[in-house]
Structure 1
Amino acid sequence: MKSIRDSVHGDLHLEEFEVRLTDTPEIQRLRRIKQLGFTYLVYPGANHSRFEHSIGTMYLASRLARNLQLDEDTHTLVRSCALLHDAGHGPFSHVSERVLDSSHEELTSKLIKESQLGDILSEKFSVKEVLKVINGEGPLGQIISGELDVDRMDYLLRDSHYTGVAYGVIDVERLIYNMKLDDGILLLQSKGVQAAESMLLARYFMYPSVYQHHTTRIVNSMFRRCLGKLLEKKVINEHEIYRYDDTDIISLARSEEGYIQDIMGRLDTRQLYKRVYSLKFDDIDNPKRIFQMSDLTIQKVEEEIAGDLGVDKDFILVDVPEYPIFHEMSTPVSLNGDTVMLGDISNLVMALKDVRFNHADLCIYLPEEYADSASKLNFIDYLNL
């Protein structure tokens, strides 16, 4: 047995099988992947890694498995799946994912199949079964990737701890204690409803404060454009993005000439682009259509703005945020012998569904030296909304 001291959960204990998984290069790479990407440029303490989150998720999965009274083999399976669930994340975590054709879940499956992780896992389990659990299939999959899963519990606690933003503090004890498996469905008992509401509120407030902080979005947009150029030039193999870490990408970008090097230099020195336009989604009818804008449409808008400003189109960044999905709304709740959805019995959850676009906005960024010229443009005309 091996112990790891975690800053959020305390001492975490790993059995020999789990130590072997943890000590593989594929999992050790996660130590060099920042959990929140470039958010450390906004919150200096946000330097925690995807590795920390993985072992934290394993710990919470273990606690939930114990509460559900799963047998020892199933308990080990759940712990192993939680440990490996983010193995395929690219550099800077979710920041890079929006540039790639494959999700981190798909890349995780590919990595496990092709690496020694699959060989180690096959000593105890079916690799196919492991991948099903990691991808949220079946009753065990709901523990790792469901409406109210341990992955989300850990990242809210951890991100809150390292950024110093208190919104992410949730009642994990009450959530875990009030969950049960019934006919293959992971249910929340009625006594846990308030804790689930609190978790949903935590995510709602963490989005504008951390995950979609306006400066974080500028940085992420700049990096994604930089990464996209590296992929276009085939400096990086997209299909093996899980072999790179944060330092690899930074080094490759610094060694390139021209636009890529310029963007990386701006990130290194925090000479960030400026926001010159913001369109609040709650100011327009049917905000969902913003999220339906295709990449080609966005590129066309960027080209038109660049043409009117007389600058290169790569200097214009139109940023559409991620659609605000709150899976917790669909959490099944056991109430008086029936199974109902959390959103159907909680007025608070229904209210959040209606206000989830309040913090969302489409933004346009460009270098500071063009900001004055851009202030004369009517950006809404370019968007055709």
Structure 2
Amino acid sequence: MHAGRHNGKVFNDPIHSSVQMPKHCQIIIDTPEFQRLRFIKQLGCTCYVFPSAVHTRFEHSIGVSHLGGKLASMLQHNDRNSSVPIQNTEVACVEIAGLCHDIGHGPFSHAFEDIVPPDKDGKKWKHEEQSVILFRYLIQHNSLEKKLEEHNIYAKDIDFICQLILGVKKDEEMLRENKFCLYQIVNNSVNGVDVDKWDYFARDTHYLGMKSAFDFNRILPFVKVFDVKRGSKTRGELCFRDKVASDLNHMFLTRRRLHYTSYQHRVSKIITIMLKDAFREAADHLVFVGKGGKEYNLLESVKDPEAFCQVNDTIVNEIMRSRSQESGMVKAREIIDRIHKRELYQCIAECQHANEEMRTVDSAVIKRLIVIDADDLSSLSSSSLMEIFRADNIEVEVSHFDYGSGDKNPLLDIPFYKKTGDGKFDAELLPEDKLPADLPQRLLDVTFRIYTKVPKLDRETIKNARDRCTTRLEMINRRRRSVPTTPVKQKVRSPPIGRMASSPPIGAVSPLNSITSYGLDSFVSTDGDAGIPSLMSNPPDAAAAALGTGSAEFNSRGSRSPEPEAKVTLDTTKRNITF
């Protein structure tokens, strides 16, 4: 280890116990730009549902830096006889990249990212790119160039750190072409296995009060660098011993479970939508001063790092304390007040386990078909329904639940190494039949939720609103199913287990028992009419296995068999609509 590595401070961390930050990291931690992360919650609005989930990006960033340095040091030790060994400075660069990878986050983390408008070229704002901007600003604003040079970190190393933060895609050029493995430590764009996820899986489950079968300490000793061929390129990648394939499998299962139970929790998503509305309303009335005294509003603050450093979660308190009578600020205060009083937007319809045709439907398409137009006015039975289905009162949110690679098995992109007959090690990408069988066959699940911003709706109004959503979603489904497609030969899959729709997915909250209290119903179809295809595919295999047994029958493809004389029925105790 190079000189000065252990001259920093020791942090007591609930996940990693005692964490010793080296001096080159400590000088970055002790800056206003990094300390800002103390006021940005790691899980955004999730704390409104899980009260203990109030941990911040500050401690997460320290954890990622610690793990990144630990893994890089281990690779350096294992690779010491290589023709291009990992240098002490490169280990330090990985630690700094882990430390600064999230400094570009805005208030309530990903909630802010969704409302920042694209630039003039239509490019979406991303927190990773903002992290690079803030990292360079942090060094310049605090005059850290000389201090970093004392630790052998120069301008070319700063560029390298920026590229480590952004991650490198498959064919992208690298500043250090023979050190691709280092680019995979903090932000692994090849297969998603990196120390960022290792820390936040462990930290989030801890603060959410959940148990996890995944333990990164089991994997760490079995990470080595071997040459891996992908297409025409061969380069040294992070490879994992074949015996930890199941542990990596648990990592992806943990990811999906966290998305189901907390990250995309129904109420958390509602509050996120409400906060985004409040930020939009208040944006023009919140002023942040940037370089040269130039003023920016909330959403424009991303253009100037000095202004952006003033933006964090405390803007909610700033909005609430404001006595401005500007219409935007008044509306923003009303929305935040509704959150505090639990007068939330209501979910009037939910379509779980959308089939393949519906998965690709854009939320804007659904919204256009659901909101009222001139021809619809006569069909709406009350003024309440007219209010509900106004364009500015409807939000359509699409949640994707997968294992990190969409509808593809994420383990297929991970190289594993094993001993060969001569006692040496050989790394390769394993075929699907040699991978652990824990992942269900259904790797991607999509849920649509339709919300209305109108408060205090009665049971009858919610039922009528849900019926309208049901009809319109079926119209979309029929249109997409009517488009001719080339037949695709499909594998025969084992039928799922248990009742299809009596319970939410694995790990989700129990079914709500009051439609009046929550205003939420689930679309559940049984293919009763051959002319109206089901909106649903089967639930995920892992989820179905946890739902218990039932009397439903399934055909050889795992689909529910048609039931004759099906009727539309409403079970108000279980929030289910059955076709």
Shared fold, TM over 0.5: yes
Distance 1:82 1:9 in 2: 15
Instruction: Specify the alignment match of 1:176 in structure 2.
Output: 220
457, 469, 472: which one aligns with 1:379: 469
The equivalent of 1:53 in structure 2 is 60
Give secondary structure in 2 for the equivalent of 1:166: coil
For residue 130 of structure 2, the aligned residue among 81, 84, 107 is 107
CA distance in 2, matches of 1:78, 1:315: 46
Change in 2 beyond 3 A, CA 1:191/1:117: farther
**1:225 alignment counterpart:** 277
Per the alignment, in what secondary structure is the counterpart of residue 36 of structure 2?
Answer: helix
Paired residue secondary structure (2:55): coil
CA RMSD of aligned residues (A): 2.7
**Contact 2:320-2:333 at 8 Å conserved across structures:** yes
Counterparts of 1:242 and 1:322, CA distance in 2 = 31
Aligned counterparts of 2:140 and 2:340: Cα–Cα separation in 1: 34
Q: How does 1:152-167 map to 2 (within 5 A)?
A: 152-167=197-212
Distance 1:178 1:99, change over 3 A: same
* 1:232-252 superposed Cα distances (whole Å, 9 cap, x missing partner): 778413352554110124423
Is the 1:24–1:117 Cα contact (8 Å) retained in structure 2? no
Match of 1:326 in 2: 404
In 1, are the aligned partners of 2:260 and 2:401 still within 8 Å (CA)?
A: no
Indicate conservation of the 8 Å contact 1:274/1:371, yes or no.
no
Shift of 1:89: 0.6
Q: Give, in whole Å, the separation in 1 of the partners of 2:370 and 2:127.
A: 28
Per the alignment, do residues 44 and 65 of structure 1 end up closer, same or farther by CA in structure 2, a change over 3 Å counting? same
- Residues 22-73 of structure 1, C-alpha deviations (whole Å, 9 max, x = no match): 1111110000000001111111100100111000111111221122124322
1:13-162 mapped onto 2 (5 Å cutoff): 13-69=20-76, 70-100=86-116, 101-116=124-139, 120=144, 123=149, 124-125=153-154, 126=156, 127-137=158-168, 138-146=180-188, 147-162=192-207
In the alignment of these two chains, the number of paired residues is 377
Superimposed CA distance per residue, residues 153-192 of structure 1 (whole angstroms, 9 cap, x where no aligned partner):
000000000010113x522112111111224211112122
Alpha carbons 2:370, 2:469 under 8 Å: kept: no
**Which SS does the other structure have where 1:3 is aligned?**
strand
Structure 2 counterpart SS, 1:11 = strand
1:362 is aligned to 448
Label 1:332 to 1:252 Cα distance change in 2 as closer, same or farther (>3 A): farther
Deviation at 1:150?
0.3
Other-structure match for 1:210: 262
Residues 1:304 and 2:393 aligned together? no
Name which of structure 1's ranges 326-335 and 118-127 shifts more when overlaid on structure 2: 118-127
CA deviation after TM superposition for structure 1 residue 148, in Å: 0.8
Q: Partner residue of 1:238?
A: 300
SS in 2 for 1:363: strand
SS of the equivalent of 1:333 reads strand
In the alignment, which residue of structure 1 is the partner of 2:5?
Answer: none
**What SS does structure 2 have at the residue aligned with 1:176?**
helix
Amino acid at match of 2:74: N
For 1:344 and 1:37, the matched residues in 2 are separated by 39
Amino acid at match of 2:110: H
Q: Does the Cα contact within 8 Å between 2:253 and 2:403 map onto a contact in 1?
A: no
CA contact (8 A) 1:331 1:342 kept: no
Residue 302 of structure 1: how far off its partner (Å):
6.3
Query: 1:251-284 CA distances to partner (integer Å, 9 max, x unpaired)?
Result: 23663534322211112233222221001134x3
What is the CA–CA distance in structure 2 between the aligned matches of 1:301 and 1:27, rounded to whole Å? Answer: 45
Match of 1:346 among 435, 444, 449: 435
Alpha-carbon distance in 1 for matches of 2:462, 2:226: 58
CA–CA separation in structure 2 for the residues paired with 1:342 and 1:23: 48
Q: Which amino acid aligns with 1:236?
A: L
Identical counterparts, % of pairs: 27
Matched to 2:398, the amino acid is: V
Say which SS state the counterpart of residue 185 (structure 1) adopts.
strand
1:157–1:278 Cα change, 3 Å: same
How far off is 1:194 after superposition?
1.6
Q: Match for 2:356: what amino acid?
A: D
Structure-1 separation of matches of 2:270 and 2:182: 38
The runs of 5 or more residues in structure 2 that have no matched partner are 1-7, 77-85, 117-123, 169-179, 228-235, 287-296, 303-307, 323-327, 421-425, 478-579
Task: Encode CA deviations 1:69-124: one digit per residue, 9 max, x unaligned.
Answer: 24322211111110000010111112222223311111112222333368536631
| Partner Cα distance (1:323, 1:197) in 2 | 16
Contact 2:205/2:211 (CA < 8 Å) preserved in 1?
Answer: yes
2:435 maps to amino acid: S
Q: Are the counterparts in 1 of residues 93 and 160 from structure 2 also a CA contact under 8 Å?
A: no
Q: Indicate the residue corresponding to 2:486 in structure 1.
A: none
State the Cα distance separating 1:355 from its structure 2 match: 3.8
Paired AA for residue 158 in structure 1: R
Counterpart-to-counterpart distance in 1, 2:60 and 2:181: 22
Distance in 1 separating the partners of 2:103 and 2:209? 26
Cα offsets for 1:277-298 (capped at 9, x unmatched): 001134x3334313xx16x536
Change beyond 3 A, Cα 1:325–1:200: closer
SS in 2 for 1:376: helix
Provide the secondary structure at the position in 1 that maps to 2:250: helix
Q: Aligned in 2, Cα 1:300/1:179: closer, same or farther, shift over 3 Å?
A: same
8 Å CA contact 2:31, 2:138 repeated in 1: no
Does residue 1:248 correspond to 2:248, yes or no? no
For 2:58 and 2:400, the matched residues in 1 are separated by 24
The aligned amino acid for 1:131 is C
The one of 344, 348, 365 aligned to 1:272: 344
Q: Which amino acid aligns with 1:332?
A: P
Check conservation: 1:254, 1:264, Cα contact below 8 A: no
Three-state SS of the structure 2 residue aligned to 1:17 is: helix
